[in-house]
Amino acid sequence: MRPRVYMDANATTPLLPEVVEAMRPYWMERFGNASSIHLDGQQAHAAVDRARETMAGFFNCHAAEVVFNSGGTEGDNTALFGLLRPGDHCITTSIEHSAILQAAQRMAQNGVETTFVDPAPSGLIDPAEIERAIRPHTRLISVMLANNETGVLQPVEEIGKIAGAAGAFFHIDAVQGAGKVPFDVRRFGCHLCSISAHKMHGPKGVGALFVRRGTPIEPLLVGGSHERRRRAGTENVPGIVGLAKAAELAMLSLEDGTIPRLAALRDRLEKGILALPGTGVNGARQSAPEGRHENSPGQAQRSPGKDANNDLAPRRGAANSFVHHNLGAPAPDFGTWESANPIFNDCHPERPRAQRGGVEGPAVASSNGIPVPRVANTTNIWFDQLEGEALVIALDLKGVSVSGGSACHSGATEPSHVLMAMGLDRNRARASLRFSLLKTATEAEIDYVLQVVPQAVEHLRALSPAAAGTLG
Amino acid sequence: MTTPETIAVAMSGGVDSSTVAAMLAHGGDSVVGLTLQLWDQTRLAGKHGTPDAPGSPTTGLRRWGGEAPKAGRCCSLDDVYDARRVAEHLGIPYYVVNQQERFERDVVRPFVAEYLAGRTPIPCSLCNNHLKFDQLLQTARSIGAGRIATGHYAVNEYDPARGRWILKRPADLAKDQTYFLFGLTQAQLSRTLFPLGRLTKPEVREIARRHGLALAEKPDSQEICFIPGGDYKRFLAAYLEEQGEELPETAGELLSSGGQLLGRHDGIFNFTVGQRKGLGISSPTPLYVLNIDPASHRVTVGADEELATRDLRARRLNWIGIPELTGPMRVKIKIRHRHEAAWATLEPVSPASAGADEVLATFDQPQRAVTPGQSAVFYDGDEVVGGGWIA
């Protein structure tokens, strides 16, 4: 069997050998429950502590601000369910992962109104739009660091400042961005930040949520005092150890030339595919009219519940005795962050310099228009005159793993809400493929893919409905 | 890796198509399994009294092989699960391909329109024409498979003398599905395999067992796949509401065959030719629906004897056994799936130009409840000559 080429890193990644090795002792030898008093428990507890220190270095925060959990979805759900109360207003974007979107929809039933800000056609969120959406009772702003489908990096630092000025909490879904770009929750100015191990060569089923000291988060899972009563449940020790190791390796990879090398491979792949007629990148250029569909008039499709006059408006009435008028509630006291405790003032001593840096990821090189910042490994490309699903399958049968512009939910495939929110024509959204490279990608793999993609595209385009139809 | 010899098997999660996949995979052919995702079962579930979808949280898990479940419905989430497990057991690649938009456009919408026009539609034949054979073949070709295979009970073979692909009734006449396949073109027939055509259902289950397929005992799906519980009236109401459309007002008069006003009805879609129940008229002798007039909304009822007609007209014809009908021909005709084919003389109706698009069939014996919207399929012995839609 021909070895496969895996270009779906944004879906998941394999464990690195060092991660497997780091986890190994904790399955059968140091298997204790970290809450137990005896030596077995202590060993497990120590491993979790060490992992916590590593994660504190990764985030640039205090160890006590790290909460281990089951992954990005749990972190995202916790940020919304744990913070928002009836009567609150929440601002997020229409390109978030469904762990945020569906949590927001559910919160609507609890009297929380959410505004979903749309991106520009380039896939970038405009901080001014976030600012415009702020109301007196805005309690939480949630914006992703890097979009999983397009790889576009959002201006989280600016948004952090806006949140700070407005006295709102700020959550960043960093599931895709973590390990790909320099990371610093203090520079980002966020109170909450979700990450997931399996997107950065760690195991599935484990992640971490940064919870800034003083953030009043209600736990999602109760039943024990684990994670300082912020997340009950026996610690997944091997998973946590794996997460920490993955994070450590990710930080190193930001300094050792991996990122520029990956960007070069991705750029070569992208350029090669774009040489085919009738193709284009989703999420590339700012202020280019390209992203908007030429054929359909009017607005791009909006995500559900764009604003107040819809079914996400908070319910009024006697039953809602928990309506909480946030006007006049004290803003979170940001003053104590810097002043009182010197621990919070210093960068974690172990943090690699690159991790702290102020540079967003490498931008897209493009011949016209202002390039949009993007993670180094992702390109999302639309293909005219073919069915995206058929191309994904055709590539799969040739040994190449990529994903399409649709998400599969309970057997029904819908075009990507992200691409639709960017204003992409529905047919193009259904014919978009995401190529996301592993850090271990090679030139030979790019060569192979650049060989099979044009073949597959040509084959599919030759089967136009008139030619291929068999109806008499 | 696919080659033009690769066969794409249409897998519904049922015993028949699973057995086909097993037979072909073990036979050494290069096989890929495909399930067409045609209809989102959760879409109208629970609306207007339609049952919950299988696989939804309130219906619980299905287990078969142990306790006997209720009769299945095709292509639910559970069925996709079953198909996927079979593919994994056989070691073949497996994909779910979304064709919901096309199915809704080419099968569901016409289905609704037919009922509202006072006819009784058969979605399964339309689905075969548009989805299972046209779309599936296109999809198969797009992934590099030259042929498809399905679990239909039918036989197709090439007759060099006539230079045509022919379609014949299967060995197991109780499972004969040729009635729904009359619309297949030569192009489609030449690229399709029906491996079950010469087997009986019990034999198929036995083959499934021998291949270690756990679903060998799974009950057959009996219903229209997108109508839970078979209640098409609830489906119509739920679907139209979801589309934001009004159920058209088609209430009208109930008349006797003599023209006498017997009562009123709520809507023509409540009736089908030959129907006896639900007329809302008390009568000493049983009354049956004879005719539904979509223009005037009049429904005519009469005695059993009046249901019989000697002839029918069929349009939008497809020919399999012959290239076209140029003169009168003696055939046996089925006017319903569960109908014993009856002798008739078939004649083309048109000015004498080539390719009549309408035929007149005159039965030797009057036939009961010839229903507009159903298909009339013409047989010459075992062979399907062709067929069309009853006007």
ipTM for the whole complex: 0.75
Give the Cβ contact number of residue A103 at 10 Å: 25
Distance separating alpha carbons of residues A157 and A163, to the nearest angstrom: 10
Among B35, B37, B135, B141, the strongest candidate for a mutation testing the A interface, having the largest count of A CBs within 10 A, is B141
Worst-scoring range by mean pLDDT, A27-36, A61-70, A457-466, B298-307? A457-466
- HEC readout, chain B: CCCCCCEEEECCCCHHHHHHHHHHHHCCCCEEEEEEECCCCCCCCCHHHCCCCCCCCCCCCCCCCCCCCCCCCCCCHHHHHHHHHHHHHHCCCEEEEECHHHHHHHHHHHHHHHHHCCCCCCHHHHHHHHHHHHHHHHHHHHCCCCEEECCCCCEEEEECCCCEEEEECCCCHHHCCHHHHCCCCHHHHHCEECCCCCCCHHHHHHHHHHCCCHHHHCCCCCCCCCCHHHCHHHHHHHHHHHCCCCCCCCCEEEEECCCCEEEEECCHHHCCCCCCCCCCCCCCCCCEEEEECCCCCCEEEECHHHHEEEEEEEEEEEECCCCCCCCCEEEEEECCCCCCCEEEEEEECCCCCCCCCEEEEEEEEEEECCCECEEEEEEECCEEEEEEEEC
Mean pLDDT of chain A: 83
**B228 to chain A, closest Cα gap in Å:** 17
Closest by CA position to B208, among listed B9, B22, B81: B22
Q: What is residue B276's predicted lDDT score, i.e. its pLDDT?
A: 86
In A, minimum Cα distance to B185 occurs at A472
CB contact under 8 A, B129 and A393: no
- Structural domains in chain B, CATH included, are 7-151+195-230 (3.40.50.620), 252-302 (2.30.30), 308-390 (2.40.30.10)
Beta strands in A132-274 (DSSP E): 138-144, 169-173, 192-196, 207-211
Give the Cβ contact number of residue B48 at 10 Å: 16
Q: How far from chain centre, in Å, is Cα A29?
A: 34
Tell me if B181 sits within 8 A of B154, measured CB to CB.
yes
Distance separating alpha carbons of residues B341 and B334, to the nearest angstrom: 4
Residue of A396, A460, A470 with shortest CB distance to B185 = A470
- Find chain A residues with C-beta within 8 A of B93's C-beta: 396-397
Q: What is residue B389's predicted lDDT score, i.e. its pLDDT?
A: 93
In A, minimum Cα distance to B317 occurs at A472
In A, minimum Cα distance to B190 occurs at A470
Kindly list the distances between the CA atom of residue A306 and the CA atoms of A80, A126, A169, A301, B153, in Å, as whole numbers in the listed order.
17, 16, 20, 10, 51
Closest by CA position to A337, among listed A186, A218, A157: A186
Please report where in the chains the tokens 């009297």 appear, as a residue. A111
CB contact under 8 A, B80 and A410: no
Distance separating alpha carbons of residues A240 and A223, to the nearest angstrom: 20
Q: What is residue A360's predicted lDDT score, i.e. its pLDDT?
A: 41
Q: Where are the alpha helices (DSSP H) in A31-155?
A: 39-59, 72-83, 98-108, 127-132
- Find chain B residues with C-beta within 8 A of A412's C-beta: 37, 40, 98, 100
Render pLDDT for A197-228 as a digit per residue (tens, 0 to 9): 999 999 999 999 999 999 999 999 999 989 98
Structure token pair of residue B182: 């009359």
Strands A66-69 and A207-211: antiparallel
CB contact under 8 A, A394 and B32: no
Q: What is residue A251's predicted lDDT score, i.e. its pLDDT?
A: 96
Distance separating alpha carbons of residues A84 and B386, to the nearest angstrom: 65
Q: What is residue B153's predicted lDDT score, i.e. its pLDDT?
A: 96
A427 membership: H or E segment, kind and range: helix A426-430
In B, minimum Cα distance to A2 occurs at B1
Tell me if A158 sits within 8 A of A143, measured CB to CB.
no
- Find chain B residues with C-beta within 8 A of A426's C-beta: none
Our answer to whether residue B127 is catalytic in this structure is yes
Distance separating alpha carbons of residues A352 and A410, to the nearest angstrom: 43
Determine which one of B74, B75, B124, B225 is catalytic: B225
- Find chain A residues with C-beta within 8 A of B32's C-beta: 397
How crowded is the C-beta side of B57, counted as CA atoms within 13 Å?
Answer: 0
Q: Sheet with B192-193: list strands edge to edge.
A: B94-98, B31-37, B7-10, B147-149, B192-193
Give the Cβ contact number of residue A129 at 10 Å: 15
**B77 to chain A, closest Cα gap in Å:** 7
**A266 to chain B, closest Cα gap in Å:** 25
Render pLDDT for A150-205 as a digit per residue (tens, 0 to 9): 999 999 999 999 999 999 999 999 999 999 999 999 999 999 999 999 999 999 99
Residue of A410, A470, A472 with shortest CB distance to B137 = A470
**B144 to chain A, closest Cα gap in Å:** 7
Render pLDDT for B370-384 as a digit per residue (tens, 0 to 9): 998 899 999 999 999
Size of interface A-B (CB pairs under 8 A): 73
- Rounded mean pLDDT, A292-313: 35
**DSSP string covering A79-105:** HHHHH--TT-EEEEETTS-HHHHHHHH
Distance separating alpha carbons of residues B1 and B23, to the nearest angstrom: 20
| Confidence at A322, pLDDT banded by 50, 70, 90 | very low
Distance separating alpha carbons of residues A6 and A218, to the nearest angstrom: 39
Q: Where does A258-303+360-463 sit in CATH, by number?
A: 3.90.1150.10
Closest by CA position to A259, among listed A193, A332, A172, A182: A182
Buried b (16+ CB within 10 A) or exposed e, A6-30: bbbbbeebebbeebeebbeebeeeb
- β-partners of residue B197 are none
Closest by CA position to A64, among listed A222, A227, A215: A227
Residues of A with CB under 8 A from a CB of B: 2, 386-387, 389-390, 393-394, 396-399, 406, 408, 410-413, 459-460, 463, 465, 468-472
**B8 to chain A, closest Cα gap in Å:** 13
Structure token pair of residue B210: 């021998």
| Strand, helix or coil for residue A27 | helix
Render pLDDT for A457-468 as a digit per residue (tens, 0 to 9): 999 999 865 444
Structure token pair of residue A67: 């909460």
Determine which one of A61, A190, A347, A408 is catalytic: A408
The pair phi, psi for residue B66, each rounded to 5°, is -100, -100
The pair phi, psi for residue A122, each rounded to 5°, is -75, -10
- Find chain B residues with C-beta within 8 A of A386's C-beta: 142
Render pLDDT for A327-384 as a digit per residue (tens, 0 to 9): 223 333 333 223 233 333 333 444 555 554 443 444 443 345 678 999 999 999 999 9
Distance separating alpha carbons of residues A216 and A121, to the nearest angstrom: 36
Among B81, B95, B96, B98, the strongest candidate for a mutation testing the A interface, having the largest count of A CBs within 10 A, is B98
CB contact under 8 A, A470 and B130: no
- Find chain A residues with C-beta within 8 A of B100's C-beta: 412-413
CB contact under 8 A, B143 and A394: yes
| Confidence at A291, pLDDT banded by 50, 70, 90 | very low
CB contact under 8 A, A394 and B144: yes
Distance separating alpha carbons of residues B285 and B289, to the nearest angstrom: 13
Radius of gyration of chain A from its Cα atoms, rounded to whole angstroms: 23
CB contact under 8 A, B143 and A463: no
Q: What single letter denotes the amino acid at residue B181?
A: L
CB contact under 8 A, A470 and B77: no
- Rounded mean pLDDT, A453-457: 96
Q: What is residue B43's predicted lDDT score, i.e. its pLDDT?
A: 78
The pair phi, psi for residue B248, each rounded to 5°, is -60, 150
A370 membership: H or E segment, kind and range: strand A370-371
Distance separating alpha carbons of residues A461 and A276, to the nearest angstrom: 12
Any residues with CB less than 8 A from the CB of A12 and at least 6 apart, and which?
A: A198, A199, A204
**B138 to chain A, closest Cα gap in Å:** 6
Distance separating alpha carbons of residues B83 and B34, to the nearest angstrom: 9
Give the Cβ contact number of residue A32 at 10 Å: 18
CB contact under 8 A, A412 and B100: yes
In B, minimum Cα distance to A1 occurs at B1
CB contact under 8 A, B32 and A468: no
Residues of chain B with pLDDT under 50: 54-72, 352
Residue of B40, B98, B318 with shortest CB distance to A389 = B98
Q: What is residue B3's predicted lDDT score, i.e. its pLDDT?
A: 67
B188, B192, B196, B197: CA torsion to nearest 10: 50
Q: What single letter denotes the amino acid at residue A394?
A: A
CB contact under 8 A, A397 and B143: yes
Tell me if B376 sits within 8 A of B360, measured CB to CB.
no
DSSP state of A63: G
**B17 to chain A, closest Cα gap in Å:** 19
Residues of B with CB under 8 A from a CB of A: 1-2, 32, 37, 40-42, 77, 80, 93, 95-98, 100, 129-130, 133-134, 137-139, 141-144, 185-188, 191, 318
Fold adopted by A17-256: Aspartate Aminotransferase; domain 2 (3.40.640)
Render pLDDT for B103-154 as a digit per residue (tens, 0 to 9): 999 999 999 998 888 888 888 888 888 888 888 999 898 888 999 999 999 9
Tell me if A393 sits within 8 A of B143, measured CB to CB.
yes
Tell me if B36 sits within 8 A of B188, measured CB to CB.
no
Among B142, B167, B189, B316, the strongest candidate for a mutation testing the A interface, having the largest count of A CBs within 10 A, is B142
Distance separating alpha carbons of residues A149 and B301, to the nearest angstrom: 61
The pTM for the full model equals: 0.80
- Find chain B residues with C-beta within 8 A of A394's C-beta: 142-144
Structure token pair of residue B353: 């130009």
Render pLDDT for B301-328 as a digit per residue (tens, 0 to 9): 988 888 889 999 999 999 999 998 889 9
Closest by CA position to A472, among listed B267, B246, B388, B232: B388
**B363 to chain A, closest Cα gap in Å:** 28
| Confidence at A303, pLDDT banded by 50, 70, 90 | very low
CB contact under 8 A, A471 and B32: no
| Strand, helix or coil for residue A444 | helix
In chain A, where the domains are located: 17-256, 258-303+360-463
